[in-house]
Amino acid sequence: MSRFAEPQDPLFRAINTSLSFDRRLWPQDLRLSRAHARMLARIGVLADDELERLLAGLDAVERELREGEFPFRDDDEDIHMAIERRLTELVGAVGAKLHTARSRNDQVATDMALFVREHAQRARELIAELMRALLARAEDHIDWPLPSYTHLQRAQPVYLSHHLLAHFWRLARDRRRFANVAELAGELPLGSGAAAGVTFANDREFLARELGFPRLAENSLDAVSSRDAVLDYLAAAAICAAHLSQLGAEIVLWSSAEFGFCEPADRFASGSSLMPQKKNPDAAELLRAKSPRVARAFAGLVGLLHALPLTYNKDLQEDKEALFDAVDTLELCLRVAREQLLALRFDRERMRTAASDEFMAATDIADMLVRAGVPFREAHRRVGGLVRFAVERGVSLSQLSDGELRERLGELEPAQVRAALALEAQLESKISRGGTALARVREQLEKARAELAG
């Protein structure tokens, strides 16, 4: 006899089951069960021969799962029940002892923390690979000028190396963020039971060592109901995916005929089913497009957790699909971003032509006036007037006569102004730390290499 007088309604089963998605947790669940069984033997709840039979049974279950031969049943509610059911079929009554002193509540919280810790580490590795690729491309294009933009209007020229490294440093922060994710997820929930703790003296320190957790969750109520590890992963993933979307968007823009700064490799582009001439940067577009999907996963989990009373509620079962989808999406995007970037061809001439817009020297000229004693606001006004004068006449600054320059700039020698208009002069004038002058970019490359080594 059990608590229930009637079997489950098929409709209830349909809404209650999580097996279709949480079967993915089987490696974590088996690892957990082995540690738990060893712990039970250690504290005298299982005899040594019982432990041996359980471990052998778990090995057999693992083989079946690994080879896709595990006989799932329609009435398996989730991966935890399926594994325990199969274990008991294989090893008999001793299988039914495995769930002593644990609940699916501390079990699933631990499986999820294990999963997050593994994939936070994986994200760190993939991010590092992409950072290495950015660094390599920056080294290859160290002195190729192009404009920087604000409001998508030409701002000031920079070197392509400098621009690529901008993406590098965002990813460096993402990589650290994922280190924090793994670190914070290092509190072991297992041993907390369903809610209040268990009546056995579970050796949780042993469990933590076995499962690679640096710390224990100190409160059983918190342990079984917190999904902070998942939230942290999703938050870090959403930020990282946003960064990748900016990289993707830039490649899309730059590979348009209007920009023409780069060209994706054929193997990362598609044609049009109608227009024979087309070569579309689909991979870059999808990097751009995947990011809201990851952000949605984070927002969805925040919504799920909102106002949820302690402790475990079945609502928590809904944390999984969002996490798995975000993990798969982010890991794929990181790999695509790297390969695509390594295969990208930059067009030196197109970038240089765009960078050879003398109006971008306006700030440098204003700064020259400042050095001659003119207050910056006044200098800004004078140079603005000079630019307007040239624009209205449809000429560049260097086409203005000495007289026209003198009249509007006062203190400055025309020859001095003309020298400042040269592209290299503009680039090399940005000597502040973190600026685009070559010496600064070389320093930055050094720091970037050190960041990767550390």
Applying CB under 6 A, does 104 fall inside the site for ligand ARG? yes
Q: Smallest gap, in angstroms, from Cβ of residue 104 to ligand ARG? A: 4
Q: Which is nearer to ligand ARG, 20 or 256 (CB)?
A: 20
Q: Rounded to the nearest whole angstrom, what is the least distance from the CB of residue 205 to ligand ARG in the complex?
A: 24
Ramachandran area for residue 44 (φ above 0: left; ψ -120 to 50: alpha; else beta) = left
Q: How far is the CB of 441 from ligand ARG (least distance, A)?
A: 50
Distance (Å, whole) CA 334 – CA 178: 14
Q: How far is the CB of 165 from ligand ARG (least distance, A)?
A: 42
Report H helices in 185-267. Answer: 204-211, 220-225, 228-254
Q: Six-digit token pair at 390?
A: 């040239």
Active site residue 272: yes
Nearest approach, Cβ of residue 101 and ligand ARG (Å): 16
Q: Is 430 a residue that touches ligand ARG (CB under 6 A)?
A: no
Which range, of 90-98, 290-298, 311-319, 337-345, touches ligand ARG by CB under 6 A?
311-319
Q: Is 317 in the site for ligand ARG (CB under 6 A)?
A: yes
| Min separation Cβ 79 and ligand ARG, Å | 8
Q: Measure the CA–CA gap between 286 and 414, rounded to whole angstroms.
A: 50
Q: Does 444 bind ligand ARG (CB under 6 A)?
A: no
Q: Among 238, 241, 258, 262, which Cα is nearest to 250's?
A: 262
Minimum Å gap between C-beta 67 and ligand ARG is 24
Contacting residue, 239, 316, 361, 383, with ligand ARG by CB under 6 A: 316
- Stretch of residues binding ligand ARG (CB under 6 A), selected from 103-111, 355-363, 388-396, 420-428: 103-111
Interface mask (CB under 6 A) for ligand ARG, residues 5-24, using x and -? -------------x---x--
- Least separation in angstroms between residue 80's CB and ligand ARG is 6
Determine which helix (DSSP H) or strand (DSSP E) holds 405, and give its type and residue range: helix 402-409
Catalytic entry in 18, 80, 119, 151: 151
Q: Write 263-269 long-range contacts (CB < 8 A, 24+).
A: 263/344, 263/345, 263/347, 264/340, 264/343, 264/344, 265/340, 265/343, 265/344, 265/345, 267/343, 268/336, 268/339, 268/340, 268/343
The structure tokens listed for 300 are: 């969805």
Return the number of the residue (314 or 433) whose C-beta is nearest ligand ARG. Answer: 314
Q: Among 214-222, 312-320, 331-339, 435-443, which window interacts with ligand ARG (CB under 6 A)?
A: 312-320
| Binding flag, residue 108, ligand ARG (CB under 6 A) | yes
Query: Which CA distances in Å does 201 have to 29, 101, 183, 228, 381?
Result: 22, 9, 27, 26, 77
Binding flag, residue 84, ligand ARG (CB under 6 A): no
Among residues 56, 148, 158, the alpha carbon closest in space to that of 98 is found at 56
Specify burial of residue 27 (Cβ count, 10 A radius: 0-12, 13-18, 19+).
middle
Peptide bond into 329 cis (omega under 30): no
The smaller minimum CB distance to ligand ARG, of residues 78 and 84, is found at 78
- Interface with ligand ARG: number of residues (CB under 6 A): 11
Nearest to 349 by CA among 223, 160, 166, 214: 160
Helix (H, G, I), strand (E, B) or coil at 226: coil
311 binds ligand ARG (CB under 6 A): no
Q: Hunting for tokens 């039914």 — which residue is that?
A: 96
Nearer to ligand ARG, 104 or 338 (CB): 104
Q: Measure the CA–CA gap between 165 and 294, rounded to whole angstroms.
A: 24
Q: Give the one residue of 26, 144, 261, 312 binding ligand ARG; rule: CB under 6 A.
A: 312
Catalytic residue among 161, 163, 272, 396: 272
Per CB under 6 A, which region of 104-112, 252-260, 285-293, 364-372 contacts ligand ARG? 104-112
Q: Which of 50, 62, 76, 78 binds ligand ARG (CB under 6 A)?
A: 78
Nearer to ligand ARG, 183 or 318 (CB): 318
Q: Which one of the spans 55-63, 309-317, 331-339, 398-406 is the region binding ligand ARG (CB under 6 A)? A: 309-317
Which residues 6+ apart lie within 8 Å of 22 measured at CB? 78, 79, 80, 108, 317, 320
Sign of CA dihedral 328, 332, 232, 249: negative
Collapsing DSSP to helix, strand or coil, 187 comes out as strand
Q: Show which residues are catalytic.
A: 151, 272
Contact positions vs ligand ARG (CB under 6 A): 18, 22, 78, 80, 104-105, 108, 312, 314, 316-317
